[in-house]
Amino acid sequence: MSDPLERLKAALAGRYEVQGEIGRGGMATVYLAMDPRHNRKVAVKVLNPELAANLGAKRFLKEIEIAAQLTHPRVVPLYDSGEADGLLYYVMPYVEGETVRERLRRERQLPVEDAIEITAQVASALDFAHEQGIVHRDIKPENVYLQSGEALVADFGLGKALSEAGGQRLTQTGIAVGTPLYMSPEQAAGDQHVDPRSDVYALGCMTFEMLAGEPPFTGATPQAILARKSVESMPSIRVVRETVPAGVERALQKALAKVPADRWATAGAYAEALETGLAEQDFTPSGEISAQPAGRKGRLWQVIVGVLMAGALGIAGYAMLGSSDVEPEAAAAPTEADLYRADELYRIGAAKFTAGADLPADSNQLALFLEARSELEEATRLDPNHAEAHAQLAMVHVFLGQNGHLPKDSTFVHVREMAERALAIDSTLAIAHEALALAKWIGTGGFNWQAVYDGFMRAAALDSGRANKNLAAAAQVQIDLGRRDLALSALAQAPEPSNPFERDMSRVVAVQSHLFTGDPAGGLREASAWAAEVPESTMPHYYKFHSFLELDRFDEAGSALRDWSSLRPDRPETPLLMTVIYHARRGDRDAAIRTLEQFHRDYPDASGFRSSLAMAYAWLGDLDTAFVLLDEEFDTQGFAFRFPSDPLYAPLRGDVRFNVLLGTMGLECTYHEDGTHQCREA
């Protein structure tokens, strides 16, 4: 019996009436069931087959039975556990309400008081379990339920049961007990004897996410996340959210200390410190939170406020940022001290930009970019002929403008001016050529595709250290133009990637060189090789799904879609929209509409997903709504990524409105039945 649901129904017949799947994670699939003996709803969690295959079933059930003895008002109890038809499962109450993860998806950041109250309630459950000798090992928003305003912690004992039952086999097969975003450094290192302070660390990560909107350490892969935890300190939460009191930040910093001995000894002590920090919040007589003291942080928040004002005031607001009402005097020639200090500031600013570029856009990336901008502006003020500082400043503005932190029109004009100033001083600066190419490609005010391609190729030739990213960008230009041979030629010149980011970037473009130019079989070949090399990476599974979809191999596309979704349970928005397209293309319109309705219920603000949402509506035949969304995207961004080449836009290509949007990108394109296309500059 291949259907997992039917297999489970048969295995548990007579004990539980299994109704359907209600959740899926890295370790288990959750099913809703009825317990007819007690006339109550229950949740049956079934361990994933590959995990169960590596466990000693008897030892696992013995260990989880110990956890079933936990009785506490904030602990979700375990009703039952067992093995049936080779399936390892355990049963818990079906909790009405939502998880902290579901609330975060809806609100992203919680009120400070709510976050601390939830933390305190979880800490109460943890302290009780720790007193019984049980460490949770997987505290995260998905495992904390909210019912009538009260927090309940689920899956107590599961982590220990997995560790004790699986032993060394789990480590050898690469199956981690825990979740990298919340896992303590010692747990990540494979320490089988973690103590309660490991749970304190995970709870600190969850508190941080409830306040900041994301965990403290993120990355493209589990390895990248764990590497950051081992070398970086906790980012300042007050940079992301200035209303968090300083005392709360201090409590968080101690909870997230790398060494267990430096953390709070108990979860309760951590919760108490948070509550004390909240009570110590400093208020001015007017009732407003007092401003930060002058200095680097004060300057940073002046810049952030200036950025927000710039969005409202347009170019005038942008010009005022960091300026004064006093007319500047004629600039004097820089002194030797000025030149030394300018070079020092350039190195600091460049390092901060590089650090920020490696982070997700919704993390503390903005704070690093703004600090880099401040350092580099001061460097160019002290030394107006510092070409590298001008070029690096241009690149910082590319990111700030593209991500909407500065007015796009004026910012990209400014990028061109800074890059051209740098090249006037030193025409061999690769980063200046790169910034200028980006300004002409993703900036507003007209596209110049040949100049963009030439700029990226010139930058790659001048700096081998940036060759991978510039050759990948050059290849993407040719992909949009429908020139597969030129795209592959650019990629062939790239050196061996020096880090995972460069590897993934080159792999993405290699797949797109085929998939987006009428060769989905070639795209599948590239994506499959990538997935085999880095199975924990999400992107190859997406491109396997997309390639199977273009080949009309729907069963395999569905399997790849499930693999992709399971690897990013914290970011389900885009997989949900791709599920709409999957159902629509295989002819199940009702399922597609139900999935689309679910997306709109779960994510009422879909402004960050306009392009994917437009694709979904297009495959459902609602071209009017699709073009409304794309018009909004073009108004905001000036373009849509891969718009000329991505075959998921195919239903729109026969509409005159599609050609109008192509025209705003400076292109005229012809599309053929075999999936190929050719574009030329209009």
The residues annotated as belonging to the active site are 138
Distance between CA 11 and CA 3 in Å, rounded? 12
121: left (phi over 0), alpha (psi -120 to 50) or beta: alpha
Structure tokens at 235: 């980012």
Cβ neighbours of residue 407 closer than 8 Å, sequence gap 6 or more: 310, 311, 314, 315, 317, 318, 401
In terms of Cβ atoms closer than 10 Å to its own Cβ (0-12, 13-18, 19+), residue 452 is buried
Q: Is 653 helix (H, G, I), strand (E, B) or coil?
A: coil
Beta bridge partners of 28: 47
Structure tokens at 266: 């108990």
Closest listed residue to residue 399, CA positions, set 415, 423, 410, 376: 415
Distance between CA 615 and CA 643 in Å, rounded? 11
φ, ψ for residue 249, nearest 5 deg: -60, -40
Amino acid letter at 445?
Answer: G
Structure tokens at 636: 């905001």
Contact indicator for 377, 299 with CB cutoff of 8 Å: no
DSSP string, 525-551: HHHHHHHHH-TT-HHHHHHHHHHHHHT
Cβ neighbours of residue 433 closer than 8 Å, sequence gap 6 or more: 419, 423, 455, 456, 458, 459, 462
Contact indicator for 246, 227 with CB cutoff of 8 Å: no
Closest listed residue to residue 28, CA positions, set 99, 106, 71, 91: 91
Distance between CA 455 and CA 439 in Å, rounded? 11
φ, ψ for residue 523, nearest 5 deg: -60, -40
Q: Is 585 helix (H, G, I), strand (E, B) or coil?
A: helix
- Residues of 382-401 as b/e, b for ≥16 C-beta within 10 angstroms? bbeebbbbbbbbbbbbbbbb
> Cα–chain-centroid distance for residue 14?
43
Cβ neighbours of residue 168 closer than 8 Å, sequence gap 6 or more: none
Q: How big, in percent rounded to 5, are the helix, strand and coil portions of the chain? A: 60, 10, 30
Number of H helices, E strands in the chain: 32, 10
Beta bridge partners of 47: 28
Contact indicator for 398, 435 with CB cutoff of 8 Å: yes
Distance between CA 339 and CA 359 in Å, rounded? 31
Tell me which DSSP letter residue 290 carries. P
Contact indicator for 494, 467 with CB cutoff of 8 Å: yes
φ, ψ for residue 663, nearest 5 deg: -60, -35
Cβ neighbours of residue 186 closer than 8 Å, sequence gap 6 or more: 194, 198, 260
Distance between CA 46 and CA 221 in Å, rounded? 26
Distance between CA 385 and CA 197 in Å, rounded? 53
